[in-house]
Amino acid sequence: MKLLIANGHLIDPAASQNSGKDILVENGKVAAWLDRNETRPEGVEVFDATGLIVAPGFIDMHVHLREPGHEHKESIASGCAAAVAGGWTSVCPMPNTNPVNDNAAITRYMIEQAAKAGLANVFPIGAITKSSDGAELAEMGEMKAAGAVAVSDDGRPVPNAGIMRRAMQYAADFDLPVIDHCEDKSLSSGGVMHEGKMSLRLGLKGVPALAEDIDVVRDILLARDTGAHIHIAHISTAGAVEAVRRAKSEGVKITCEAAPHHFTLTDAAVEGYDTNTKMAPPLRSEEDREAILEGLRDGTIDAIATDHAPHHADEKSLEYDRAPFGITGLETGVGLAFTELVHKGVIDLVRLVELCSTNPARLLSLSGRGTLTPGSLADITILDPEKEWTFVAAESLSKSKNTPFDGRSFRGRAVTTIVNGKIAFNLP
């Protein structure tokens, strides 16, 4: 089957392309680019992308799909449905499933479940340590062979610098990036929101920015020492952004991602004690938010990742102190990126595509993705930058509805998501 995506505007930063091009898709791959005046091949299905942006498929390198183990929150199938509805052709689930994805069998299981669902590509992230207990290394080589693209202990970051150092040395042998959720738990323990004016006012225990900064600085020193690639997950503080900026300028192999809620909201949103404002790292101060905007603009931050963290409504109905950390994000991430970044002049469309596709594909070494050059895989995200829409959590395709963005209006979104040459989502 052949598909021609016609009349659209192609943005493919990896190929320095930013112009009107038609894309011919054949057998799940990009077969050719056609100029507007070229004769179209016979017998092709034509997708009219007039007025739309055609971009290499968006890759959300930080999600929680909850399968195996917590299928009441999300399954790989429901998570992938939410992903393609949000414009993501690929997602990378964190290993904090039950059992933990710390071995090749679980990694393979996740990929099989994704294949069964047939919606988005799933590239699992394996654990750094067995059961993410921070003690013994997990079998990274085996997991990589099974399809894992990075390692992380995500919400249970390795506290022991000695073990983290060996993990980074070992991961480097397999060219696996080590993704760290930077949080020194001795500083954050008991905290449920950002430590600052708002936590003082609301009487909630704070997580100081220092808890993130101190771990980021540790990781920079370890990356310099080991030569491994460290990737900082959901960077949330001005101090961490500055530390990464300096480390990059000194040649340390470091990358980082930011989550849409961190560039959109601040701790002011916690007023009213809505548990859908509780996540780790927490919503920070306005100064931190501005630092993230600057990092997205100047290239310090490499990727936008949603940290999609579904939780059941019953769990989020608990007291603020007791409710679990995390919010959903797959269906709102691109809308927030348009509304808060592109339309407010923080970044342009080229940079948006870099943050959501080019860079995640590059830093996870996803060959054939993150670009639409002929021969690459036909993962395509088609965007309408001007589309006005409202997110209704109750209509979400995720099993969970824990979002602070219910009822929020957006300008700009992904309207069609093509995965491996097939239309996986098309906005009605």
- Catalytic positions are 307
> Which phi and psi angles does 193 have, rounded to 5°?
-150, 175
Cα 93 from chain centroid? 9
Interaction mask 158-197, another protein, x per CB under 8 A? --------------------------------------xx
- Lookup: tokens for 403: 């979002």
Cα–Cα distance, 193 to 283 (Å, whole number): 7
In the complex, least distance from residue 216 CB atom to another protein, rounded to whole angstroms = 23
Please report, as residue ranges, which positions from 195 to 224 form the binding site for another protein (by CB under 8 A): 196-197, 200-205
The residue within the footprint of another protein, chosen from 159, 172, 273, 346 (CB under 8 A), is 273
For another protein, give the closer residue by CB, 199 or 381: 199
Contact 157, 182 (CB under 8 A): yes
In the complex, least distance from residue 330 CB atom to another protein, rounded to whole angstroms = 25
For another protein, give the closer residue by CB, 40 or 197: 197
- Could you tell me which residues come within 8 angstroms of residue 183 by beta carbon, excluding any fewer than 6 positions away? 157, 207, 211, 212, 215, 280, 281
Q: Strands 45-48, 2-6: parallel, antiparallel or unpaired by DSSP?
A: parallel
Interaction mask 225-264, another protein, x per CB under 8 A? ----------------------------------------
Binding residues for another protein, total number by CB under 8 A = 17
For another protein, give the closer residue by CB, 269 or 427: 269
Cα 139 from chain centroid? 24
Question: Interhelix angle for 238-249 vs 286-298, to 10°?
Answer: 30
In the complex, least distance from residue 203 CB atom to another protein, rounded to whole angstroms = 3
Binding flag, residue 407, another protein (CB under 8 A): no
Please report, as residue ranges, which positions from 302 to 331 form the binding site for another protein (by CB under 8 A): 314, 317-322
DSSP letters for 88-157: EEEEEE-S-SSS-S-SHHHHHHHHHHHHHHTSSEE--EE-SBGGG-SSSB--HHHHHHHT--EEE-TTS-
For another protein, give the closer residue by CB, 87 or 196: 196
Cα–Cα distance, 392 to 387 (Å, whole number): 16
- Nearest in space to 57 (alpha carbons), one of 386, 411, 384, 368: 368
For another protein, give the closer residue by CB, 275 or 339: 275
In the complex, least distance from residue 57 CB atom to another protein, rounded to whole angstroms = 39
In the complex, least distance from residue 195 CB atom to another protein, rounded to whole angstroms = 9
Sign of CA dihedral 192, 269, 355, 61: positive
CA atoms in the 13 A half-sphere facing the CB of 317: 4
For another protein, give the closer residue by CB, 285 or 306: 285
In the complex, least distance from residue 73 CB atom to another protein, rounded to whole angstroms = 15
Question: Which residues contribute to the site for another protein (CB under 8 A)?
Answer: 196-197, 200-205, 272-273, 314, 317-322
